[in-house]
Structures are given as structure tokens and as C-alpha cells.
Amino acid sequence: MGLFNFLSGKKKNKVPFGDALENVEVQEGLILPKAFANHWEEIKATALDYVEIIATPADKFTATESSFGSIPFFPTGFDYPMDGQGQPMIPLAQLNFAEMPAIEGYPTKGIVQFYIANTDTYGLDFDNHYNPDSFRVIYIEHPENMTVNPHTSFLDNVMKSEYSPVYKPHKLSFARKREYVGISDYRYNLHGFSIDSWYAGYSEEERNSLEDESYELFNTTGHKVGGYANFAQEDPREYIKSGRHGYHKRFRGYFVPKMGNNQCWWWLLYYCK
């Protein structure tokens, strides 16, 4: 079921619009238009917890601190990720789970790091989405047992690369939150309902108003770990197949940095084996 696939060629009884946009508090701190509040039990069943990531520009970091675009935790004896040409990859993000609120399905300790090739496609290989020469995801389970490698000067040029999507290093802080529905996530089609059916009986103008409300309420964008993903076009898990995972149903994390006036147009998914 598509979100806005309105039935055509079939007469419907018009329903009074009147109070459809009237605010209703369905639970403490959560207000929905009455047209949606009438379906709160269905909406509530789609709830997913996630960790919001708050990015703040910074200049100094500890080695294990969560960050976007800073020198990553680089233990002695660790092989730094290189691309297919033998060049150091761009350190995109580092998340220290010990600094984050706990949510189901994610570790409570360890560091996950994301790297991309130093190219104008941000490490995307159009022919092979799992090509390790294009990107790398590394999980360090026990960073407290490792010694930081002080020799990172070889990253000086990489950190200034014009191809880095992060214009300045950012420190990260976190907040546990909850969201619903996820209208651009492939799982929307698994909920068993279609939002557009809730207001199909209204006029076109009224439907447009409620459609805008649905995007405002259930458009789950932003920096995050967990929850529903958001895409400018469509969820690639709908059509990209993988020999190891079939459709990408093992989605684990998502973030889209928006940093002040310098918006970084990239998104990141990572998958668990």
C-alpha cells in the first residue's frame, strides 16, 4: 500500500472536515490531529525507540569520543582502513556506545567506526554495494584494553580532503527518543494500514492539509541510531538485493548530518552480519 494512493473511479461519501485538524493529546507530550488520533492504537503499535545524535562543532577530542569527521580511535597494531588504491580512507563517524542511552538491539559498550573512500562519490561503488575498497565499518568491542597509536600524521591530508562530507569535526551528544510510522522507510508497507485511507473521504484540499500533517509528524529524518530511516527519494532496501542478506532487512543505523548552514547531503546505512 502506498502512502498516497487514493482510490479513483469510486464514489465516496464526503465526511465533515471541521475538526479533523483539531489537536488531540494521545499521550503525555504527543499531540496529533484528530483524523490521526482516531487511529492512535494503530500508530502506537509502530513505535520504535532511537537515539538522537546532536552534533556540535569542536576542535578538541579524546581518542574514544563520539564524533563526526575527527581523528578516529586508532589502536597500536590496528591496520588503518585503506581503499583499493592503497590510500587512507576518510574517517566519517565514530560512535562510542558507552556514551549513548541503551536501546534494544544495540551494544552498550564498544566503538563503531565508519570510513569512506576519498572520492567524489563518498565511497559509493555503483556496481558492488559491499565493496570493502569503497567503505569500511569497524566495531571495536573493548577499546579500554587498547593503547592509542600516536602516529596519525599520515591522516593530515585526508582530514582536509575536499571530498569529506563533514565540513568541520563535530562532537556528539545523545538523547533517547521514540518515533512512529516511518513513511519513507520500507517497513511502512508492513504496518497493515495506509494513512491515506484515513482521510480518503475528504476533499482534495482537505486531503492535502492532512497529507502535509502526516509528513510533518511521521517524516523521521535527522541524526540518529535506530528508529525509522528517511530518504530523499526512496528506501534502497525495497529493490537492492544482496547475496548475503537478500533485501536489506538487517538495517541497524542511520544518520544524516545537518550542520548549521552547511548541510551535508549524504546518508549512511550500516548492516550487521
Q: How far apart are CA 197 and CA 215, in angstroms?
A: 15
The whole-angstrom separation of Cα 146 and Cα 144 is 6
Residue 204: the pLDDT is: 85
pLDDT at 238: 75
Backbone angles phi, psi at 197, to 5 degrees: -70, -20
pLDDT surpassing 60 at residue 241: no
Its pTM stands at 0.79
Task: Go through the domains of the chain in sequence order and give each one's CATH number.
Answer: 24-47+180-218 (no CATH), 49-177+222-271 (2.30.320.10)
pLDDT for residue 170 is more than 80: yes
Write the pLDDT tens digit of every residue in 13-58.
Answer: 444 556 788 899 999 999 999 999 999 999 999 999 999 999 999 9
Count of positions (residues) in the chain: 273
Three-class secondary structure of residue 75 per DSSP: strand
Mean pLDDT for all residues in the chain: 81
3-class DSSP assignment, residue 268? strand
Question: Which pLDDT does position 124 carry in this prediction?
Answer: 82
How far is residue 241's CA from residue 245's CA, in Å, rounded to a whole number?
Answer: 8
| Residue-level pLDDT at 240 | 62
Split at pLDDT 50, 70, 90, the class of 222 is confident
Q: Which of 112-121, 122-131, 183-192 has the lowest mean pLDDT?
A: 122-131
Per-residue pLDDT of 62-99, as tens digits, reads: 999 999 999 999 898 889 999 999 999 999 999 999 99
Query: Which spans in 6-143 are helix H?
Result: 34-37, 40-44
